[in-house]
Amino acid sequence: MAQDPVNYFFVGTAGCGKTQLTRAYKRWLDERGLDTLLVNLDPGAGQLPYSPEIDIRDWVSLDKVMAEYGLGPNGAQIACADMIAVKLPEIEEVLEEFDPDVVLFDTPGQLELFVFRHSSKRIVERLGGAQPLLAFLFDPILSSTPSGFVSLLMLCASTQFRFNAPIVNVLSKSDLLEAKDLERIEQWTGEPDHLMDALGESEPDAQKLLSIELLRAFETMGVYRPLIRASSTAMTGLEDLHAAAQLAYSGGEDLAPD
């Protein structure tokens, strides 16, 4: 009996590097002999740097929805999200034609449209199978400030709460940050007190609104954890991303092909 595939959903704010990291991770997995399926879930995607085996635009296209219903980009994105949910049985049929080791889902650029729509919860539940894994990407520029880092932690917590699936925190485009910035971010992820101190130094009013107990709660949830440093340009952090799936679903054993 074939092992269930691990289904990665790459989630994050617009411009954080989801598509490029998805492409790089597929290349990394392919080089190691794993059968990898790449799925584009963004109906508004333009030119993609990869050729997906399954493309949601074959069922639902943002441009076509805008033209047919006279909607603007935001309204059309919401309509597309609901249309995708209706098409799930057809998409599942196509997925069942494959027998991959890993499935990579490249989600829409607008995080709020994917995370906070009920239709997206259905997408993860149905397409994620028995082994869904959320890869939440932390934008490197936003992560470099205490308030920005806290904001991303809150979005990450909301994402995990919405989908109730294992989550991995990834510092995307880490090659764009200087060594001192990376060291500072590592301190923040290593101990909440460091983050609170940094917040107090840069934005004391924000520190008053944020309690250390909230950060401790994130830690208990598993959201507040070390970040995987990743770069699609340098092809770094991909082995750690692979190890996270092994830890979540294989007890540390390698998810290698038979």
Mean pLDDT of the chain: 89
Residue 50: per-residue pLDDT: 93
pLDDT exceeds 90 at position 21: yes
pLDDT exceeds 60 at position 253: no
Residue 257: per-residue pLDDT: 53
Residue 235: per-residue pLDDT: 97
Q: What are the boundaries of each domain within the chain?
A: 6-59+94-249
Joined tokens for residue 111: 């995080």
Q: Which CATH class is domain 6-59+94-249?
A: alpha beta
Which position has the token pair 């249309």? 83
pLDDT exceeds 60 at position 55: yes
Specify the pTM. 0.91
Are the beta carbons of 38 and 52 closer than 8 angstroms? yes
Are the beta carbons of 37 and 54 closer than 8 angstroms? yes
pLDDT digits (tens, 9 = 90+) for 208-238: 777 777 887 887 777 778 899 999 999 999 9
pLDDT band at 126 (very low <50, low <70, confident <90, very high): very high
pLDDT band at 1 (very low <50, low <70, confident <90, very high): very low
Point out the least confidently predicted range of 76-90, 154-168, 212-226: 212-226
Residue 112: per-residue pLDDT: 84
pLDDT digits (tens, 9 = 90+) for 86-100: 999 999 999 999 999
